[in-house]
Homo-oligomer: A and B are copies of this chain.
Amino acid sequence: MLPAPSPCEGEREKEMATLRVPLQVPSAVEDAKNLRMACEGWGTDEKTLIDILAHRDAAQRLQIIQSYEDLYNENLIKRLESEISGDFEKALYCWMFNQVQRGAIIANMALKKELDYRVIVETACINSTKELLAVKQAYHDHFKHSLEEDVAAKTTGDLRMLLVGLVSTYRYDGKEIDNSLALSEANILHDVIRKKLFNHDEVIRIFTTRSKAQLIATFNIYKDEHGISISKDLSSGSPDLFPSVLQVVVRSIISPHKYFEKLLRLALNKEEADENALARIIVTRAEKDLQEIKNIYEERANMSLIDAIDNKTSGNYKYFILELIGN
């Protein structure tokens, strides 16, 4: 579904991934057999599950799932779900899929119970146009209806307009920028944000239809012209949800790495770590660019991400997450 990354992109991604695959990987059949053994008998041997699965890439995990199915006529993911529980289960479950399928599953989870709008914004704004499309196709295949329907059913009013608009739109992905448009739209945004009209039609139009390159140009001009970043303007003095959602859009479009890094700090600075958010970031980025996020974290938090997670989490969850970070 996704076009193959260019060799350059692939290389860069590999460098920035934290996933460590051993030089000598056992065959998928061997892995499947060892996983089966770890699941059988009294109690599950979670350490073995993690030692295998946290060190195989998406293609290898898929082969293991197929071999397991062939050998035991059983779905490995379902078996794992029945063996383990809690945040560890959820994290390992998400890890088993490839990036695109996982994107669909995580978006669907965010629409269950209480809406997690951050995940919806991430799905819409951090993925490229092609990646978002692939996630939406996977959503159709998996859930037999559209992401748009589920976001719309879970929201109302302006938040619906914004979030449905964000997940729907097929943004132009080119680099061309119209500078005079950026200036006029920076001024429109500044006007309405200063009047606290965050939910203004024009805000929704600009955020949901312009290309990311165009939006970044608009945000840059906003700062140059008005002496304050749009992100700060959105956060100042309003306790409402809507401007917070807009701020997440801005930050995830300007820099996904910095956005995720800040989420990690928030998740780890709580009295009890937000294991849900933590796992989402680690699992979705470990095979992609977690090293970059980790570097920014270590600069800003003045401690290593590994130490921070080590202090704040425990058990199999901790062991799994730390293995993915490249402990």
Binding stretch for chain B, among A68-76, A159-167, A245-253, A303-311: A159-167
| Interface check A156, CB cutoff 8 A | yes
A265 to chain B, nearest CB (A): 34
Residues of B within 8 A of A173 (CB): 140
Residues of B within 8 A of A209 (CB): 146, 148-149, 152, 164
Q: Taking CB as reference atom, which chain B residue is nearest A176?
A: B144
| Interface check A174, CB cutoff 8 A | yes
A172/B149 in contact, CB under 8 A = yes
Residues of B within 8 A of A170 (CB): 133, 136-137, 140, 146-148, 168, 170
Q: A169 to B152, alpha carbons, bound, how many Å?
A: 11
**Number of interface residues, chain A, beta carbon within 8 A:** 33
Q: Taking CB as reference atom, which chain B residue is nearest A206?
A: B152
B160/A144 in contact, CB under 8 A = no
Q: Taking CB as reference atom, which chain B residue is nearest A137?
A: B170
Q: A145 to B133, alpha carbons, bound, how many Å?
A: 17
Interface residues of A in 168-219 (CB under 8 A from B): 168-174, 176, 201, 205, 208-211, 214
Residues of B within 8 A of A172 (CB): 140, 144-146, 149
Of the candidates B145, B156, B176, the one whose C-beta lies within 8 Å of that of A201 is B156
| Interface check A237, CB cutoff 8 A | no
Q: Taking CB as reference atom, which chain B residue is nearest A170?
A: B136
| Interface check A41, CB cutoff 8 A | no
Q: Are A171 and B157 also in contact (CB < 8 A) when A152-B205, A164-B165, A205-B152 are?
A: no
Interface residues of A in 87-143 (CB under 8 A from B): 133, 136-137, 140
Q: Taking CB as reference atom, which chain B residue is nearest A214?
A: B145
Interface residues of A in 21-76 (CB under 8 A from B): none
Report 28 cross-chain contacts, Cβ distance below 8 Å, ordered by A residue.
A133-B133, A136-B170, A137-B170, A140-B170, A140-B172, A140-B174, A145-B174, A145-B176, A145-B211, A145-B214, A146-B169, A146-B170, A146-B172, A148-B169, A149-B172, A149-B211, A152-B205, A152-B208, A152-B209, A157-B201, A160-B205, A164-B205, A164-B209, A165-B165, A168-B169, A168-B170, A168-B208, A170-B170
Q: A140-B173, A145-B174 are in contact. List 19 more A-B contacts (CB 8 A).
A: A133-B170, A137-B170, A144-B172, A144-B174, A145-B172, A145-B176, A145-B211, A146-B169, A146-B172, A146-B209, A147-B170, A148-B209, A149-B172, A152-B205, A152-B209, A156-B201, A157-B201, A164-B165, A168-B168
